Amino acid sequence: MALVVQKYGGSSLATPELIRKVAERVIRKKEEGHDLVVVVSAMGKTTDDLIRLAEEVAEEPPPREMDMLLSSGEQISMALLAMAIQDMGYPAISLTGPQAGIMTDTSHRKARILEVDTSRVRKELSEGKIVIVAGFQGLSTEGEITTLGRGGSDRTAVALAYALGAEGCEIYTDVEGVFTADPRIVPEAKKIPVISGDEMLELASSGAKVMEARSVEFATKYGVEVHVRSTFSDEPGTVIKREDPAMEKVLVRGIALDTKEAKVTIRRVPDRPGVAAAIFSPLADANINVDMIVQNVSQDGFTDLSFTVSTSDLKTALAICEGTKARVGAEEVTADEDVAKVSVVGVGMRSHAGVAAKMFKALADEGINIEMITTSEIRISCVVRKEQGERAVRALHRAFELDKEPT
Ligand code: ASP
Ligand code: MG
């Protein structure tokens, strides 16, 4: 009997009716003769609601207590799903992350999975039970409950699939799969049947919301093939797998828009060795990911330096930079939240020239100004004004003819 790990997102579990629908879906798989481990997210917007609650009782809720609070969301879903399945006459048991052997480091709200002790899960499976596991949570090396970061249930699923040597890892969500662009922005966007892990990672970290970026990274690293598909249909979704040569034929696989980054500018930074390190080291120490960095041409020994961070890190980043400003003798720190990052991604870029030129021309033809540019081997990203972001995506989707040939 093959083992399958399924994960259901919050929108798939938002109401009691939906939970029963998921239970039916799980049972159908079981009836096909599979062993099943089912990872669940919190119902609907529960996690958002819990965060809001915390902010109502405390100015800065301590991370440890936040994790105690947030981990409760997934525990509601796991118990309800296990009850629904049992009510339909099938054996099931719910397990918290710690009970399921998800071991993490000690960094609250952003924990990393260090290892998975699968003994309890295997024991329950061997007794014929469907095992429901609360996603997004684990037990730290210091015995504390941790959470994995927003969207982290995907990582629970991938980690379990890897540790259990599962035959499949299915991520069920409210969309049909991964599209060439967000269909709400580009109605002609097409579903991508197969995508490489690297492309998915670039898309996910560039704003595509289908799967958590760190989970894609984990899956790629450990060779877990993931099938992202809809809870509400039987259509095949998108398979994320190791790159194969055929994938390079497509120049651009998809386009992502990220409106959750902000630009920080430090003005009149003394241009001397060690200054960049003085600015970015404390940000790194605070676990803040810096995305794009642009340093202007230096004039009279001073330069302006801009970079982008996630808006959720902006407050902390600004506080840190104010401190650095004083230390290095810069003039001013400003924040600009009215920016958007648009990215084109495709492994075909490795072997084809001219993608950047085509991208810049498409944006220029729309009268869209580019403020910052970064590239990786398979991605080009531009920062533009936020209100032009969606138009930029549509223009690029047309320019790279993603609405035409099915990829
Ligand atoms: N419930 C958590 C969140 O909303 C984890 C997840 O959905 O994966 O971020
Ligand atoms: Mg969620």
pLDDT in tens, 87-115: 999 999 999 999 999 999 999 999 999 99
Question: CA-CA distance, 75 to 70, in Å (whole number)?
Answer: 9
Who contacts 405 (Cβ-Cβ below 8 Å, separation ≥6)?
Answer: none
In the chain, CATH 3.30.2130.10 covers 254-258+339-399, 261-336
pLDDT computed for residue 407 by the predictor: 46
Report the separation in Å between the CA atom of 209 and the middle of ligand 1, taken as the mean of its atom positions: 12
The yes-or-no verdict on residue 202 having pLDDT over 50 is yes
Read off the pLDDT band of 208 (50, 70, 90): confident
pLDDT digits (tens, 9 = 90+) for 184-198: 999 999 999 999 999
Residue 54 has pLDDT above 90, yes or no: yes
State the pLDDT at residue 383. 97
Give me the residues paired with residue 344 across strands: 255, 380
Q: What residues does CATH 3.40.1160.10 cover in the chain?
A: 3-174
Looking from the CA of residue 45, the nearest atom of ligand 1 is 4
Confidence class of residue 261 from pLDDT cuts 50, 70 and 90? very high
**What angle in degrees, to the nearest 10, is found between the helix axes of 153-164 and 213-222?**
10
Q: Which residues contact 45 (CB under 8 A, 6 or more apart)?
A: 10, 14
Q: 31, exposed or middle or buried, with CB in 10 Å at 0-12, 13-18, 19+?
A: exposed
Mean pLDDT of 134-147: 98
Of the candidates 31, 144, 19, the residue with the CA atom closest to the CA atom of residue 94? 19
* Cα atoms in the Cβ-side hemisphere of radius 13 Å centred on 255: 30
Q: What is the rounded CA–CA span in Å between residue 5 and residue 133?
A: 10
Q: What is the mean pLDDT of residues 34-53?
A: 98
Identify the band that residue 210 occupies on the pLDDT scale cut at 50, 70 and 90: confident
16 vs 39: CA distance, rounded Å:
17
Distance of alpha carbon 127 from alpha carbon 132, whole angstroms: 14
Q: What local confidence, expressed as pLDDT, does residue 33 receive?
A: 95
Dist CA 203 CA 274 (whole Å):
33
Among 37-41, 203-207, 213-217, the minimum mean pLDDT is found in: 203-207
Question: What's the 235 CA to ligand 2 centre distance in angstroms?
Answer: 22
Helical segments of 329-401, H only? 355-365, 389-399
| H/E segment holding residue 1 | none
Q: Is 44 a pocket residue for ligand 1 (Cβ < 6 Å)?
A: no
Topology of the domain comprising 254-258+339-399: VC0802-like (3.30.2130)
Q: What is the pLDDT of residues 1-21, one digit of tens each?
A: 699 999 999 999 999 999 999
Structure tokens at 346: 């495709």
Using CA of residue 79, residue 82, residue 85, residue 87, what is the dihedral sign? negative
What is the per-residue pLDDT for 155?
A: 98
Mean pLDDT (the chain) is: 95
Q: Which helix (H) or strand (E) holds 81?
A: helix 63-87
10 lines ligand 1 (CB under 6 A): yes
One-letter amino acid of 362 = A
- Residue 48's φ and ψ, nearest 5 degrees, are -60, -45
Nearest ligand 1 atom, CA 149: 9
- Return the closest-CA partner of residue 239 out of 176, 280, 196, 299: 196
Determine if ligand 1 sits within 6 Å of the CB of residue 209: no
Give the residue whose CA is nearest to atom 8 of ligand 1: 151
From 52, 75, 146, 150, the mutation candidate for ligand 1 (largest count of ligand atoms within 8 A of CB) is: 150
Answer whether residue 199 shows pLDDT above 60.
yes
Q: Are the C-beta atoms of 152 and 126 separated by less than 8 Å?
A: no
Cβ–ligand 1 contact at 42 (below 6 Å) = yes
The CATH code belonging to domain 261-336 is: 3.30.2130.10
C-beta of 73 in contact with ligand 1 (< 6 A): yes
* Nearest-atom index, ligand 1, CA of 151: 8
What is the band of 405 on the pLDDT scale with cuts at 50, 70, 90? low
pTM greater than the 0.85 cutoff: yes
Residue 230 C-alpha to ligand 1 middle, in angstroms? Answer: 17
Yes or no: say if 201 and 36 are a contact pair by the CB < 8 Å rule.
no
18 alpha carbon – ligand 2 mean position (Å):
15
**Predicted pLDDT at 406:** 56
Share of the chain above pLDDT 90, in %: 91
CA of residue 48 to ligand 2 center, whole Å = 9
User: Residue 163: phi, psi to the nearest 5?
Assistant: -65, -35
Cα dihedral sign for 270, 271, 272, 278?
A: positive
Residue 147 β-bridge partners: 137
For residue 243, report the distance from its CA to the centre of ligand 2, in Å: 28
Kind and range of the H or E element at 363? helix 355-365
When mean pLDDT is compared across 25-34, 133-142, 241-250, 344-353, the lowest value belongs to 241-250
Q: For residue 73, which ligand has an atom nearest its CA?
A: 1
Give me 80's structure tokens. Answer: 């309800």
Under CATH, which number does the domain 3-174 receive? 3.40.1160.10
Ligand 1 centroid to 54 CA: how many Å?
A: 16
When comparing pLDDT for 272 and 133, which is higher? 133
